[in-house]
Structure 1
Amino acid sequence: MSGSSDAPSAETGDPNADVDRGRALATLFLVVFVDLLGFGILIPVIPLYALSFGANEFVGSLLIAVYSLFQFVFAPVLGRLSDERGRRPVILVSLFGSTLAWTLFGLAGELGSLVGAANGLVVLFLARALAGAMGGNIATAQAYIADITPPEDRARGLGLLGAAFGLGFVFGPAIGGLAASGPALDVVGGVVPWIPITEFTLPSLVAAALTAGNLAVAAVVLPEPNRTRSAGSEESRVAALVGALRTPALGTLVVSFFVASFAFSAFESQFIFLTNDLLTFGTAENALLLTYFGVVVAVVQGGLVGPLTDRFGEYRLAVVGAGVQVLTLGLVPFAAAWGRRFELVAVAGLEPWQTGASLALALVATPLAFGNALTNVSLNALVSRSASDETQGGAFGLTQSAGSLARTVGPALAGALYAGIAFWVPFVVAGLLFVPVLVLLRRLDGDVLGGGGGESVRDGTTDAGEGPTTGGR
């Protein structure tokens, strides 16, 4: 193993003993939260913005998918760069790139008008591609947490990032809707009349402003953690990461992460179609359901994962989370259909039968959100334990890349099943896809136990000298 390492503290042996972990974790939480907030703000904007340039629904869907595609390509690149050049510079550069991307997105109409509206659509695609590439900084944030936290506290730190994900998706669409409203457009348009303010541009520029503020905060308060750095040889990096995928633990975890992300993205992408078709829900009603789902995920990842990990370990939580999703994902469409039969009371503009269906969906969505939160955080924690100290960024880059690829392909295939066969098929298939996740986790159990380091993965303890790693410790 080559590279240099900062000297550990003489008293504790911890190279990051002098780092203010609380401040660093709070800053990382803010970085990830605002990153996902900017992404969430544009969720209700992107399809209509594409249509305003003359695109059809298929092209609008491609505009959504291009973000995940470029995140898939660049997440491992940023992860490896953070291993070699440092976590802090990669995070700062990615925030600058995201600020530029959201600004270009908001000004696409003005830029396109110089050479024709069709080129404005090209600007949208370029901006989304840049935003996706910079969105790979999540892997660097995960690696940063692995640098500054001991193994027994790692799941708690990763759970904090998971909560930032959930909160970003809860508040992002709400802010986007508010920014696209008439009063906001009138107020901002009167203050800055020289900037084109529309229902599409203002949410984009709000996302850019939030990200720019995020960059300023990170530049001031986020330190570079002390850690072991990789040597930087392209051949050695590629060989180490390919070798990591071939190890029983990390390779199995990356595949598990891909299948889990594929399955859940299929559910997410079809949920709005389901509630619209069966319950005639519009944007406001769906926003309420998705907000509830996001709050459950944020609470579990930010508050419950740590204590549960202390008691049961990451491996058991990953298995439980996958098992819960096997049972609940397939129930979602039937809960919506069956709930229509139970008329309760009219609430917040909902008809009695819609209230009954909403309650039925909430009863299924609660354990589903709980299981999804457990699976995501626990798989990430297990990935961290299966990678060596100097390849944490690369390992997390692999998992994020796998998730991005899954979120690129999963929704398209789920939509084909929904439209071509029946409304319930993609949900049942999504649930069944967690069965191979359980099989893969059981394989991980057997492989690691057979390799002599299994209990460290299963029970939340660690042994620096045993178990499969990428490159050794």
Structure 2
Amino acid sequence: MQKHTAAVRFVLITVILDMLALGVVIPVLPNLLKTFLNGDTVQAAHYYGAAGVLWAAMQFVFSPLLGVLSDRFGRRPIILLSNAGLGLDYVLMALANSLPWFFIARAVSGICAASVSSASAYIADVTPPEKRAAAFGSIGAAFGIGFVLGPALGGTLSAVDMRLPFWIAGGLSLANFCYGYFVLPESLPPERRSSLDWKRANPVGGLIWLARHGKLLGLACVHFLNSLAHFVLPATFALYAGYRYQWSPKEIGLTLMAVGVCSAIVQGGLVRKVVPALGERRTLLLGLVFGATGFVLYGLAATGPWFVAAVPIMAIWGLGGPAMQGLMSARIDGHEQGKLQGMLSSVMGVAGMIGPALFTQVFAYSIAPEAVWHEPGAAFILAGLILLGSCTLAWKVARSLPARPVEPAVLAASAPDA
């Protein structure tokens, strides 16, 4: 039990540092892009959407490969390689001085963005099936903690220098690599590792594997719609808040900090209370309903204070993700957890190839002079409707999902390889 607790703590600190590094750059990334475009917000929205599609395409292609590799060689090396790659990518972003370099950096970031899926597989390795929803909630809370400090820090640092947040993010990711190298134990012992199956190491083969697991395909579709709606926030929020509320990067960062606080409270505390009381199925539906409501309120908020007032309502959406992951991971054998998490990341990658372009185009059109309906929040309203569809599908799929308990993996007791 002591080893299990220590291992989970290691992983959560890894996720916190990763999300802190990511949160630092969110408020300033669109503004960096605008410096290459003479401050044109509409053009920045188009290019930012394209960069988001590129990032997601890299994640779509490489996540299944990294998931299969983690099932074969263990979670630890994948997490470490991801952290090192992200650190070097932030350094590249800090040095980028043109659109081509900006896009190259986003591609590298997409390739390396596998630490969270590997961390989820790690959690599944060391946690009994009935407790995984709460454990996945802890990962969500770690996300929230990272976003509490990251955006506020990034917004403040950008006032000193536009590129300083990227240097800080790079340092955090490389520090994360050093931390994991010396203290993170492996969670998947050699006897529980699977053979290297190249057919499942590509997104098409992985999707076929997922389809063969029956009801998991339906939940994967729910995950896709969930992810698609999620991309409206990173794709448009900084541009939206700057245009509609005239917020500075610092104000944008502080708002994202509030989002992180509420998310940490929900996923770090409420998940552990709500899932045992309502069950994973009802918790999933509850989260989706609140998420759809929150997005619509974001889109209709005519002033900044009204947007902030909707943040706690939106945060309840955080109940859905851990509940859904708990439903899925409990029906997959221990040696396939990395494959599952890699495929979930790949599904998110598909959503990411659609979402940023979709939402930035909707936002750009809604603020253009020739727009028939001038509504800056149209992208958020669309995301709310997508989540409403996700909720309907989840209700149909989850109510008939059969139980399939599996044995949790045993945490490797050996010390990490140096």
Q: TM-score when scaled to structure 1?
A: 0.75
1:104 aligns with 2:92: yes
* Partner Cα separation in structure 1 for residue 26 and residue 237 of structure 2: 14
Counterpart of 1:406 (choices 322, 345, 351) is 351
Partner amino acid, structure 2, of 1:365: V
Contact 2:330 2:405 in 1 (8 A): no
1:225 aligns with 2:187: yes
Query: What is the aligned partner in structure 2 of residue 180 from structure 1?
Result: 158
Query: What is the aligned partner in structure 2 of residue 40 from structure 1?
Result: 23
Query: What is the aligned partner in structure 2 of residue 203 from structure 1?
Result: 165
Counterparts of residues 184-263 of structure 1 (less than 5 Å):
199-227=161-189, 228-235=192-199, 242-263=208-229
TM-superposition CA deviations, 1:264-289 (whole Å, max 9, x none): 32255444555445544333433333
Say if 1:379 and 1:422 are closer, same or farther in 2 by CA, change over 3 A. farther
Say if 1:149 and 1:123 are closer, same or farther in 2 by CA, change over 3 A. same
1:415 aligns with 2:360: yes
Contact 2:26 2:234 in 1 (8 A): no
Query: What is the aligned partner in structure 2 of residue 147 from structure 1?
Result: 125
Say if 1:92 and 1:284 are closer, same or farther in 2 by CA, change over 3 A. closer
Q: TM-score when scaled to structure 2?
A: 0.84
Partner amino acid, structure 2, of 1:231: S
- Give the 3-state SS of the residue equivalent to 1:433 in structure 2: helix
Query: What is the aligned partner in structure 1 of residue 389 from structure 2?
Result: 436
Query: What is the aligned partner in structure 1 of residue 114 from structure 2?
Result: 136
1:26 aligns with 2:9: yes
* Partner Cα separation in structure 1 for residue 391 and residue 354 of structure 2: 21
Say if 1:49 and 1:285 are closer, same or farther in 2 by CA, change over 3 A. closer
Partner amino acid, structure 2, of 1:463: P
- Give the 3-state SS of the residue equivalent to 1:367 in structure 2: helix
Say if 1:400 and 1:22 are closer, same or farther in 2 by CA, change over 3 A. same
TM-superposition CA deviations, 1:397-443 (whole Å, max 9, x none): 11122223323422322233342444243333222222321222223
- Give the 3-state SS of the residue equivalent to 2:405 in structure 1: coil
> Which stretch of structure 1 is more off in the superposition, 250-259 or 201-210?
201-210
- Give the 3-state SS of the residue equivalent to 1:386 in structure 2: coil
Contact 2:267 2:318 in 1 (8 A): yes
Partner amino acid, structure 1, of 2:389: P
- Give the 3-state SS of the residue equivalent to 2:330 in structure 1: helix
Q: Which has the higher contact order (CA 8 A, sep 6+)?
A: 2
Say if 1:328 and 1:148 are closer, same or farther in 2 by CA, change over 3 A. same
Gaps of 5+ in 2: 408-418
Query: What is the aligned partner in structure 2 of residue 295 from structure 1?
Result: 261
Contact 2:138 2:267 in 1 (8 A): yes
Say if 1:131 and 1:274 are closer, same or farther in 2 by CA, change over 3 A. closer
* Partner Cα separation in structure 2 for residue 53 and residue 409 of structure 1: 24
- Give the 3-state SS of the residue equivalent to 2:26 in structure 1: coil
Partner amino acid, structure 2, of 1:253: L
Q: CA deviation at 1:257?
A: 0.8
Gaps of 5+ in 1: 1-16, 110-117, 183-198, 338-353, 457-461, 466-473
Say if 1:237 and 1:329 are closer, same or farther in 2 by CA, change over 3 A. closer
Counterparts of residues 26-175 of structure 1 (less than 5 Å):
26-53=9-36, 57=44, 58-109=46-97, 121-175=99-153
1:369 aligns with 2:322: no
* Partner Cα separation in structure 1 for residue 328 and residue 261 of structure 2: 25
Say if 1:49 and 1:324 are closer, same or farther in 2 by CA, change over 3 A. closer
Partner amino acid, structure 2, of 1:291: M
Counterparts of residues 372-383 of structure 1 (less than 5 Å):
372-383=317-328
- Give the 3-state SS of the residue equivalent to 2:10 in structure 1: helix
Contact 1:36 1:169 in 2 (8 A): yes
1:463 aligns with 2:405: yes
| RMSD, matched Cα | 2.6
Contact 1:102 1:207 in 2 (8 A): yes
Q: CA deviation at 1:52?
A: 4.2
* Partner Cα separation in structure 2 for residue 261 and residue 464 of structure 1: 27
Partner amino acid, structure 2, of 1:369: A
- Give the 3-state SS of the residue equivalent to 1:331 in structure 2: helix
Partner amino acid, structure 2, of 1:82: S
Query: What is the aligned partner in structure 2 of residue 341 from structure 1?
Result: none
The percentage of counterpart residues that share the same residue type is 31
**Larger CA Rg, structure 1 vs 2:** 1
Partner amino acid, structure 2, of 1:162: G
**Moved beyond 6 Å, runs of 4+:** none
TM-superposition CA deviations, 1:83-136 (whole Å, max 9, x none): 111111111111121222222222335xxxxxxxx5xx4333222211221112
Query: What is the aligned partner in structure 2 of residue 327 from structure 1?
Result: 293
Say if 1:432 and 1:399 are closer, same or farther in 2 by CA, change over 3 A. same
